[in-house]
Structure 1
């Protein structure tokens, strides 16, 4: 297991369970244990969620501009098709959650782990990753255009069809990931790619070669 000493969420031993009757702009949700709570399609600006544990809860379709998410764990949650533009995420753990179609343009993630989660078609355009780790996640067709991945680790992630054009990748680490049809690989300058299987190494090398517009062939196929 690769580790960059990512800080875990700081949660109180005793958490409350009562939500405010109305959640609106600048509402603060502090030190709550939210089990099977449905916040689907919630719309708010500058909402703060701090010191909370959400279990089997729904944030699907939520539109939370400039969300502040701190010291929080999301366990088996549904965040599909949510839009959290310009959110600030710090010391957050997301486990076994559904984030298909999630959009976080301009999001800033620090000391954040995402494990065993589905993020197909998720968008992280112009996002910034500082001490962020994705492990055992499916990120098929995810969009990282113009993101700063310099502080990101991807372990055993399926990045098939993902888009990495114009990213900053110096310092990024990819371990045993799947790269079928991944786009923008030429932008991963300065990243480290590690693969346990020689076949996976060859697959990645071939994908990079194709991205650079280089054609590989056998000498017997050339008319010399």
Structure 2
């Protein structure tokens, strides 16, 4: 499967996912309007919404989207520098694909946090492909979340970074120089310690939050 086919399939699943999201949003909005009444508390709201989302999950195309982003990461890893640049250019103005690259990155961080097996390397690669096109600061934050989540699970993150930074873009990356340079020295980046402070306590990212997000 090439990049063109992956993008076409992502856009197709996105249409289905958008319709699914609209239905979920309508339900959540209806339930949230009941908050504040004497016989309906937030715990009841949370329980009902989570149960509803669990039932609706099978009709969502979320898992198909995750699989396609996974394939995109493999395609990117296995290609030449010239082909990687081609991949980045093919999707740099596609907000659908860009948004799902972020969704995939946070999906990886969440899975790491709950102790499920997932390839953390691909989370980094998804953000390398995204390449700071939305906002490089958001990319740095997402990189940090994966970095911290993997580190907390005993994964050798420095080794992962050493494997992926050579395939990062050498184009300008916000105020950071290039993505290549930023990732190469990422273990020393101040954003990591900033996120450590933000991410203390309960896990900071809800899987369901990202499951129902889309551009």
Calculate the TM-score normalised by the size of structure 2: 0.30
Structure with greater strand percent = 1
Structure with greater helix percent = 2
Higher relative contact order (CA 8 A, sep 6+): 2
